[in-house]
Amino acid sequence: MDFDISNYMKTGTTGTKKVENSIMRENAQTIDMEAFLKLFVAQMQHQDPLSPMDNSEMMAQMAQMATVEAINTITDVSKTTYAASLVGKEVTVANISDNGKLTEVVGTVTGAGLYAGEQIIFVDGKSYSLKHIMCVGRLPEAAEEPAGGTTTED
CA separation for the pair 151, 43 (Å, rounded) = 68
- Say what the pLDDT of residue 154 is: 52
Query: What CATH fold (topology level) applies to the domain 86-136?
Result: SH3 type barrels. (2.30.30)
Burial state string for 59-97 with b = 16 or more CB within 10 A and e = fewer than 16: eebeeebeeeeeeeeeeeeeeeeebeebeeeebbbeeee
* Res 30 pLDDT > 80: no
* Res 6 pLDDT > 50: no
Q: What is the DSSP letter of 48?
A: -
* pLDDT tens, residue by residue, 68-125: 888 888 988 888 898 999 999 999 998 888 888 888 899 999 999 888 888 899 998 8
For residues 137 and 92, the answer to whether their CB atoms sit within 8 Å is yes
**Nearest residue to 106 (alpha-carbon basis) of 118, 119, 87, 89:** 89
Longest dimension (CA), the chain: 81
Calculate mean pLDDT across residues 23-28. 41
pLDDT band at 19 (very low <50, low <70, confident <90, very high): very low
* pLDDT tens, residue by residue, 136-149: 988 888 766 666 65
Residue limits of CATH 2.30.30.30 in the chain? 86-136
Mean pLDDT, the chain, integer: 75
Max mean pLDDT range (12-21, 25-34, 42-51, 76-85): 76-85
